[in-house]
Amino acid sequence: MKSKYFSEFLGTAFLFCTVVGSGIMGQNLSSNDSLTLLANTLATVFALYFLITVFGDHSSHFNPVVSMVMLVRKEITTQVCTVFIILQISGAILGVMLANYIFELDPVYFSEKPRSGTHLFVSEILATFGLLMVILLSSKEKVAVTVAAYIGAAYWFTSSTSFANPAGTIGRSFSNTFAGISTNDILHFCVAQIIGAFLALFVYKTFFESQK
């Protein structure tokens, strides 16, 4: 079990160090937001693929709503789910703080980047719904590729750039950079993500589970 816990912590830390660090690097190299988002997307896609592949035999949720859905599916216990979520949030915060530090910013650099509005709330429901559908419908052998590919696409087709992760949302509030989010907007993003995740579970159980 120790390996599962540490995998969730370390994997989530690396993931959000990548998300925030690549955004900072993109901004440092270009004033063009499109190029920065492209760099951010590519780095995140690669990170998701290698992290899910490397940690997949231990545990590779890296996301509280994934753990919540797995709890409802009885794949993990309440205790394990609770510890996972604590470790995921802690890992995301640490990863973001490290990204800030290695780019010579204050480790704790709270974001003032607004991400509010009904359109972004719906965008996060959609983004998280899609992510959980991909996870639930993918075989274990293919999930690293399908999740990475989906998030790469969702960075561009959703107006919120597909946060789709409460731990990451909290962590990204610690960086006032390209990938950041104002602390004022954390709650509605997280609520939207939970709605999207359980909507996906409902659709999966209604239409797909008996056919797998």
Burial class of residue 104 (count of CB atoms within 10 Å of its CB; 0-12, 13-18, 19+): exposed
CATH of domain 2-211: 1.20.1080.10
Print pLDDT tens along the chain (212 aa).
899 999 999 999 999 999 999 999 999 999 999 999 999 999 999 999 999 999 999 999 999 999 999 999 999 999 999 999 999 999 999 999 999 999 999 999 999 999 999 999 999 999 999 999 999 999 999 999 999 999 999 999 999 999 999 999 999 999 999 999 999 999 999 999 999 999 999 999 999 987 65
193-to-73, 76, 91 alpha-carbon distances in Å: 18, 20, 19
What's at 48, amino acid-wise? L
173-to-28, 79, 110, 152 alpha-carbon distances in Å: 20, 27, 6, 21
Tokens describing residue 43 = 């780095």
183 within 8 A of 111, measured Cβ to Cβ: yes
Q: Calculate the CA 82 to chain-centre distance.
A: 17
Give the integer Cα–Cα distance in Å for 176 and 4: 31
Domain ranges within the chain, ordered by starting residue:
2-211
